[in-house]
Structure 1
């Protein structure tokens, strides 16, 4: 399991950018899309 304070961490490293982080685990790929300006967080599980 991944536990992270996504809002805090991403705001520190990516100020006003739309970034995409892909975390590959054993069988699944999680795509995290974070938009700092709109303060939206989307977590999609892709098979």
Structure 2
């Protein structure tokens, strides 16, 4: 179960969270859990 792909509409109020994570994080991914999933990310400091 991965997060939904695709871009939100220009007037959409949500759906940009993972786009921001992908653009800013050094590493990120998705881990399946029972129930649901976890999205993780890493940022290099310094």
TM-score of the pair, normalised by structure 1: 0.35
Structure in which a larger fraction of residues adopt strand: 1
* Greater Rg over alpha carbons, structure: 2
